[in-house]
Structure 1
Amino acid sequence: MMTKSSIVKDVEWAIGSHRTLLRINGLWIYSEKHSWLDIAMNIQALLLTLSIFGFVTLPQTIALMKTWGNVTLIGDNIMSNLPVTMAGIKLIKMWTNKKILVRMVKQIENDWYQLSNNTERDVMIKYAKIPKLMLLCGLINITSSTLFYHILSNFFGITLRATSNLTDIYGDKILPLQSVYFFDLSTTLSFYFVSWSQLFGSLVASLVYTTFDITFGLFVLHTCALLENLSERIHNMPMDSEVKFQKTLKSTVLQHCALVR
């Protein structure tokens, strides 16, 4: 039997991790009582965007211009530069539309409270498991891959990219990413500061990239669950009473119109 407390637990289980991920990216809106949190979210999103473009995209783009004409170095640059740049663009796009984003997440929460029986709940849980698994696997995969790549370079001196005297001009030290800076990196401190900043920017880009894709997947799969429940309601419409039939038909049509919008 469904109770309010059980529904609250279901909602937290289904979308709690997704809300947390949006908050980490600075993509959440709070009530007017906590307006300072909205400011903090905007600053957080700005800092994450700057870390992506400042630590990774800009240095790699400069290196791309410097190596223009060398197909091997251009391909090596684009393989890492393009996904990170796309992550920054995705973050900006989500931030400019975060009101719609938050409204859709809250609508998912409202849909859980409107469930009428355990059968519909089971359908919602079935579809909610998929984005949760996608979230877990996506974060583990992309975080471990990023850490592995940078740790090999920072700790063991193993660089999994093409090197060149056009961009790798810091002696025996080789940065994890093909990049060019306008300041001296000959000292150990400055070199490792830049190296770890590239790791941080790459991790932020990985998080943003995963957040965008998983959130979109959540919306699609939640809609699939609602459509399946709607289909089941149509098949089980009461035929013994005209009043019940009209009431059920009206609610079904309204829900379908809401899904179409």
Structure 2
Amino acid sequence: MDITNSSGYRDFMWAVNLHRLAFEMVGLWPKHYKCIKKNLWAEIWVAIVIISLIFISNIPMICTIIQVWGNMLLVIDNLHTTLPQIMVSVKYVIIRRKRKVLLSIVNMMAEDWMAFKLNRERNVMIKRAQTGRLIMMIGYIIIITGFFTVNFLSLLDIHVLYVTNYTDRRRLLPLETYHFYNSYKSPQFELTFFIQILTTLFAAVIYMSVDIFLVVIVLHICGQLENFRCRLIDLVLYKDFNKILNDIVTFHLRLIRYEFLL
């Protein structure tokens, strides 16, 4: 039987499709075949993301801080953007290294959705999933707003950082970085601008999606705990007490597995 045709699996895909889109954009969404054999294009895409984050963003930004070291105002000004970019790289590397754990969590969530449940229990899970989707939608709005704001301000030559920053250029770029080449001239400027736009998009998606996906997992577990509480309350109402109790114990053990995975 194809599980993709089941109503539970469709509910699961509805619950995570927004988060899956963001994760797939940066190569973080776990898939079964990736644990068995490597997909060349996926590996190339991940390499592009990592290179963009480290060599286009992190290292040049650290060099920028070194360049203005000694001026506390300029150092703090550059740290406003450097620290979040470094955090993005750390998040990305950690999630990539924990792909098997992430796959296990996603599979458990899918099994929870596909398992037999009462309409009341399904409604609880739908309610939690709606909250997660709402948070993700807000995250997308923030990403789009921030992405276009940063890039359009650069196109309009509007300074976001401290205007006397030593690293300021005659032609502004989205990221305040130190360049090892002359980025004023064409086509170096246009290529650098495009690469930095791509890097800011990667960074924004990773920064937002990783945190919100953890929120989604927590919301899912909260829904499962609420269903678990309802089952315990209704336990005395069932005639087949031993069988229902055994099911509740099994359900409880599944919830404990989330603790070990997280």
TM, length-normalised to structure 1: 0.89
Partner of 2:260: none
Query: d(CA) in 2 for partners of 1:60 and 1:109?
Result: 40
Contiguous gaps of at least 5 residues in structure 2: 258-262
Q: Please report the RMSD computed on the Cα atoms of aligned residues, expressed in angstroms.
A: 2.0
In the TM superposition, residue 21 of structure 1 has moved relative to its aligned partner by: 2.6
Indicate conservation of the 8 Å contact 2:60/2:178, yes or no: yes
Mean CA deviation greater in 84-93 or 12-21: 12-21
Partner of 1:222: 220
Letter in 1 for 2:32: Y
In the TM superposition, residue 34 of structure 1 has moved relative to its aligned partner by: 7.9
Q: Structure 2 residue aligned with 1:29, among 28, 31, 51? A: 31
Partner of 1:160: 160
CA gap 1:106/1:33 in 2 versus in 1, 3 angstroms:
closer
Q: Structure 2 residue aligned with 1:193, among 182, 191, 194? A: 191
In the TM superposition, residue 188 of structure 1 has moved relative to its aligned partner by: 3.0
Partner of 1:258: 254
Query: d(CA) in 2 for partners of 1:49 and 1:59?
Result: 14
Partner of 1:82: 83
Query: d(CA) in 2 for partners of 1:208 and 1:33?
Result: 22
Indicate conservation of the 8 Å contact 1:167/1:178, yes or no: yes
CA gap 1:13/1:34 in 2 versus in 1, 3 angstroms:
same
> Number of aligned pairs?
252
Indicate conservation of the 8 Å contact 2:54/2:89, yes or no: yes
**1:62 equivalent in alignment to 2:60:** no
Query: d(CA) in 2 for partners of 1:135 and 1:41?
Result: 24
Matches within 5 A, 1:134-153: 134-153=135-154
In the TM superposition, residue 36 of structure 1 has moved relative to its aligned partner by: 4.6
In the TM superposition, residue 32 of structure 1 has moved relative to its aligned partner by: 7.3
Mean CA deviation greater in 140-149 or 100-109: 140-149
Query: d(CA) in 1 for partners of 2:162 and 2:186?
Result: 22
Partner of 1:110: 111
Indicate conservation of the 8 Å contact 1:59/1:179, yes or no: yes
**1:204 equivalent in alignment to 2:208:** no
Indicate conservation of the 8 Å contact 2:15/2:129, yes or no: yes
In the TM superposition, residue 239 of structure 1 has moved relative to its aligned partner by: 4.6
In the TM superposition, residue 42 of structure 1 has moved relative to its aligned partner by: 2.9
Indicate conservation of the 8 Å contact 2:74/2:165, yes or no: no
1:31 partner SS: helix
Partner of 1:246: 242
Mean CA deviation greater in 157-166 or 131-140: 157-166
Indicate conservation of the 8 Å contact 1:87/1:209, yes or no: yes
Query: d(CA) in 2 for partners of 1:32 and 1:86?
Result: 26
Partner of 1:131: 132
Query: d(CA) in 2 for partners of 1:57 and 1:86?
Result: 10
Letter in 1 for 2:229: S
1:68 partner SS: coil
Query: d(CA) in 1 for partners of 2:183 and 2:43?
Result: 32
Query: d(CA) in 1 for partners of 2:211 and 2:34?
Result: 29
Query: d(CA) in 2 for partners of 1:251 and 1:75?
Result: 56
Matches within 5 A, 1:40-59: 40-59=41-60
Mean CA deviation greater in 117-126 or 131-140: 131-140
Query: d(CA) in 2 for partners of 1:79 and 1:29?
Result: 35
Q: Percent of counterpart pairs with the same letter?
A: 28
In the TM superposition, residue 161 of structure 1 has moved relative to its aligned partner by: 1.1
Mean CA deviation greater in 179-188 or 119-128: 179-188
Indicate conservation of the 8 Å contact 1:45/1:95, yes or no: no
Partner of 2:12: 11
Indicate conservation of the 8 Å contact 1:67/1:166, yes or no: yes
Letter in 2 for 1:59: P
Contiguous gaps of at least 5 residues in structure 1: none
Indicate conservation of the 8 Å contact 1:108/1:222, yes or no: yes
Mean CA deviation greater in 98-107 or 22-31: 22-31
Deviations 1:89-119 (A, max 9, x none): 1011000011110111111011011132110
